[in-house]
Amino acid sequence: MALPWPFRALIWFCTVVSVSFAHKNVLFMLADDGGFEMGAYRNRIVQTPYLDALAKQSLIFNNAYASVSSCSPSRASILTGMPEHQNGMYGLHNGVHNFDALGRVRSISTILGEAGSRPTSETTMALPWPFRALIWFCTVVSVSFAHKNVLFMLADDGGFEMGAYRNRIVQTPYLDALAKQSLIFNNAYASVSSCSPSRASILTGMPEHQNGMYGLHNGVHNFDALGRVRSISTILGEAGVRTGLIGKKHVGPGEVFKFDYERTEEQFSVNQVGRNITNIKLFVREFLRDAKDNPFFLMVSFHDPHRCGHITPQYGSFCERWGSGEEGMGLIPDWHPIYYVWDELILPYYT
């Protein structure tokens, strides 16, 4: 089948921040749905002489992303330096959407205002810019057009730390080999820097204010996608493709995100389906055996890079002891960890 890949990367914001350190002022310009169509971002057709002149004296962000591809949540992220599940501004502020940030959250304008400056005009202070670019997902999509299959691998909180993305320290020979036969996205961004909404965006091709999955699916957060939305797995399943999900699911409801074969945290512990690679291997084999000669769409959703010390501290802060073979830790037979000197690794900025 041809791949009607519903990835809609909504690049909807553009910012030029003019910072004059001499005068210690900030002019922050935000364009609603704007892209990079300006001279300062090397567009040779669109003429933006005033922006370009401003940009020359300014800080240009070449690696800043909207943390949500939705208006109010993105504005709130920019102004608070927090992703939506921390600032509470999950959805649009207006009309029926009716979302608001949590009362205890403080925005940059509030903070600057309290520091004795007037945030809308002559601001005088050093700039504690709280931009937190959360790059939390990494995907490798392996598409074989000959066999018309899709293997979609998603890592929970993973970055670009693999050979295929030119990391020279981290050793990922199997991913690199897969990547050689695959489609590599060099310009794909998470449309939301929050787990369930990002997963729902990937699987529905819609931003959160269209698919309804504004927040986390679990516990008190309790968000679900709208019932009328259809995910890629549902659409492919109806077209006769065998669909499977092994690992972390974290989206709902089930009618929207249908898979023929599911081995997720809904039936097992998330560690067994998301971290135990021996188990994952056995599930993949079972899925492929059942798929027979059918084309398939298989999503393998690793939980591994995600921290776990807040839930099971006995396994280490990233469950790095779990399955190590030490007493009480069990064994993951296929796991042969490589230990890196962490300060040799180049990691994205985080706070």
- Segment interacting with ligand NAG (CB under 6 A) among 145-153, 254-262, 277-285, 341-349: 277-285
Cβ nearer to ligand NAG, comparing 189 with 315: 315
d(CA 246, CA 265) in angstroms, rounded, equals 9
Q: Site map for ligand NAG, 311-350, x if CB under 6 A?
A: -----------xx------xxx------------------
**Is 80 a residue that touches ligand NAG (CB under 6 A)?**
no
Cβ nearer to ligand NAG, comparing 75 with 263: 263
- Please report how close the Cβ of residue 335 comes to ligand NAG at its closest, in angstroms: 9
**Is 270 a residue that touches ligand NAG (CB under 6 A)?**
no
- Please report how close the Cβ of residue 234 comes to ligand NAG at its closest, in angstroms: 29
- Segment interacting with ligand NAG (CB under 6 A) among 123-131, 219-227, 278-286, 288-296: 278-286
14 is a catalytic site residue? no
Cβ nearer to ligand NAG, comparing 231 with 279: 279
- Please report how close the Cβ of residue 278 comes to ligand NAG at its closest, in angstroms: 4
Cβ nearer to ligand NAG, comparing 60 with 311: 311
- Please report how close the Cβ of residue 322 comes to ligand NAG at its closest, in angstroms: 6
Cβ nearer to ligand NAG, comparing 259 with 283: 283
Please tell me which residue in 71, 138, 195, 319 is annotated as part of the active site: 195
**Is 278 a residue that touches ligand NAG (CB under 6 A)?**
yes
- Segment interacting with ligand NAG (CB under 6 A) among 32-40, 153-161, 170-178, 274-282: 274-282
- Please report how close the Cβ of residue 248 comes to ligand NAG at its closest, in angstroms: 16
- Token look-up 């690794």 returns 345
Give the chain's largest Cα–Cα span.
69
Cβ nearer to ligand NAG, comparing 254 with 325: 325
- For the chain, the straight-line distance linking the first and the last C-alpha, in angstroms and rounded, comes to 44
- The site for ligand NAG (CB under 6 A) is made up of 276, 278-279, 282, 322-323, 330-332
Residues annotated as catalytic (active site), given as ranges: 195
